[in-house]
Structure 1
Amino acid sequence: MALRKVLLEGDPTLRKKSRPVTEYNERLCQLVEDMKETMRAYNGAGLAAPQVGVLRRVFIMNLGGEDEEDTVAVNPRIIEQEGLVVGEEGCLSLPGLVGDVERPERIILEAEDLEGNTWQRELTGLGAVCVCHETDHLDGILYRDKALEPLVSVDIVNEDPEEKANEDSEGKN
């Protein structure tokens, strides 16, 4: 396994559409293992191949921590969706920023495993959001493109309102 560099917004690779995986081999397995290591090192919930510079339709996600098995989706397709929910998202390729994005509340994901076997899974809530976010990466779309308002710094979002009020009043004296 090898830690890979996560590409940041502005890198043209992130805006390109990924090609389908056609060969299920050791190279694909190595890419996925590298992506797992990278996702964990960056404390991410998901990672798409274009984020590590590989324009193939592959993403991984893990919403349950180290005890949970990673979901590996090769050539993923959202075949059904319903409802809408607005939630705050972040991205390893846009570090330090968050924004509200409208996503389906429930989806059915169809994808392949590392051997090319097709599987389906119904996901709701955060799982559905994560799949949509990662699938967008495979189409060259960043969550900034879908954000309902401009992205904001995590520091601003996490700022304690009382602390901010105290700083503002101290600055006026």
Structure 2
Amino acid sequence: MAIRPIIRFPDPLLGIAAETVSRFEEDLRQLAEDLLDTMRAAPGIGITAPHIGVLRRVTVIELDQKTGPRTFINPEIVWRSSETARHSEGSVSMPGISEEVERPASVRVRYQTLSGEPAEEEADGLMAVCLQHEIDQLDGIFWTRRLSRLKRERAEKRFKKS
């Protein structure tokens, strides 16, 4: 277990799509543990491997310590609701900056577990927001690209000043 350095915006690595995980071995478990430690130290509620410079489709989400951390390997959204919701979002790669983002209120996600077993689940509320946010990052879409140009420019300017 280790806390790894987080890649900061506007690092070009944050705009590159991560590679599919095909080997489910000990190094993948270690990566997931390092992601959890790094996310907790940041602090944050979600993190992807690209946030620490590893271009693999791995994300860890922990909404609260009671429910504990969840690891999603190769996650993909297979369904989105037509209903939308707005939620404040930010990133461990852009600490201190947040803005409201509108996304589908519910999603269904297909993914693999740490052992490679296929799984699928529906999510709404904060978990739906986090899954969409982190899957965007795995696809090389930094969260500010979901903002209007004006809001994105303001957020980036605030981050440069911080």
| TM-score exceeds 0.5 | yes
The offset of 1:96, in angstroms, is 1.3
Q: 3-state DSSP class of the match of 1:122?
A: strand
1:18-46 deviation line (CA, Å, top 9, x unaligned): 11000000110100000011111112110
Partner of 2:24: 24
Give the paired residue count: 153
> Where in structure 1 do 4 or more consecutive aligned residues deviate above 3 Å?
150-154
TM-score, structure 1 normalization: 0.84
Q: Which residue of 2 aligns with 1:171?
A: none
1:114 aligns with 2:146: no
In the alignment, structure 1 residue 63 sits paired with structure 2 residue 66: no
Percent of aligned pairs with the same amino acid: 36
Could you tell me how far 1:147 is from its partner in structure 2? 1.4
Aligned equivalents of 1:136, 1:122: Cα separation in 2: 17
Q: CA deviation at 1:69?
A: 2.1
Which residue in 1 is equivalent to 2:72?
73
Aligned to 1:86: 86
* Shift of residue 10, structure 1, vs aligned partner: 1.6
Question: What corresponds to 1:124 in structure 2?
Answer: 124
For residue 68 of structure 1, what is the amino acid of its counterpart? Answer: T
What secondary structure does 1:144 align onto? Answer: helix
> Is 1:100–2:124 an aligned residue pair?
no
Q: Deviations over 1:103-137 (max 9, x none)?
A: 11000111000111011111101110000000011
Which residue of structure 1 lines up, in the alignment, with residue 48 of structure 2?
48
Q: CA RMSD in A?
A: 1.4
> TM-score, normalization: structure 2?
0.90
Q: What is the deviation of 1:47?
A: 0.3
Q: Distance in 1 between matches of 2:87 and 2:66?
A: 25
Give 1:11 shift. Answer: 1.2
Gaps of 5+ in 2: none
* Partner Cα distance (1:70, 1:8) in 2: 23
Matches of 1:88 and 1:63, distance apart in 2: 14
Give the corresponding residue for 2:138: 138
- Structure 1 portions without partners, runs of 5+: 155-173
Q: Distance in 1 between matches of 2:2 and 2:12?
A: 23
Deviation at 1:16, TM superposition (A): 0.6
